[in-house]
Amino acid sequence: MTERGRGTLIATAWLRRAVVLALIAALIGTLGNVGLLDPERLVRGARNLAIFAAGLFPPDPSTLPTLGAAMIETIQIAFAGTAIGFALAVPLALLACPLLFGPSITVPVKLLLALVRTVPSLFWAIVFVVAVGLGPAAGTLAIALYSLGYLGKLLYETFEGVDPEVVEAVRSVGCSRAQLARYVLLPEAANGILALLLFMFEYNVRASSIMGFVGAGGIGFYLFGYIQLLRYDLLLSGLLLTLVVVILIDWVSAFVRGMFLIPVTSPAPAE
């Protein structure tokens, strides 16, 4: 190795060490700024957590029928909101795909999706509670917009991952953009689309559980009430019910993926 090459390696090693040390220093400074290096605060927090944990047990199952009905409403909010968001996200994701359109179309659409995605789902819930009133309608619309922002981004990235040679081969025979989307992008990305849709629904069930905190329906209304009443035993019952439902949805999602995912076949080896 030449002297110049050895010097470059040494400089690179020192630069890496400097970056690591800077990150460690930034982390320590950040922990101090947010109060996580304050021993008195940490001790007090541990004591409060112990009191909170003691209030959780044993869980009180007396309100399970009410919580069960609220959980069904939560699932309905997540299901309807995910479906609406997906229906809106697919055409916007296609418009944002550079394999179909130029920057004059893709850039504004991506900016729109980024704007929608920037707003937290809970804030959207507040907006729609003001617009349509208390209840699951507000929660459904909030989940729909939240899903639109995230699914739109994930879908156009999935479309961008389609082999451009396949797209160009089909485009060379005179297919329109609509035909490219229908017969190339959507079939090629079908596995990814299904996986994203199922994941978004599972995520939205959890997100919908806190919509009730602002009056947008679902089990969150009761969870928030139990927190205000300091009934942590009832809160634990609601959380355990939510956990069971999320696990079941995860299992069902895996089953659905196994049923509908399109197998990817590898080309046969040459003789």
**All structural domains of the chain with their residue ranges:** 61-257
The architecture (CATH level 2) of 61-257 comes to Orthogonal Bundle (1.10)
Extended strands (E) in the chain: none
The pLDDT of residue 3: 67
For the entire predicted model, the pTM comes to: 0.82
The helix (H) or strand (E) run that includes residue 127 is helix 121-132
User: What confidence tens digit (pLDDT) does each residue in 153-210 have?
Assistant: 999 999 988 888 888 888 888 888 888 888 889 988 888 899 899 989 989 998 888 8
Q: How confident is the model at residue 259 (pLDDT cuts 50, 70, 90)?
A: confident
User: What confidence tens digit (pLDDT) does each residue in 88-109 have?
Assistant: 999 999 999 998 899 999 999 9
Mean pLDDT of the chain: 88
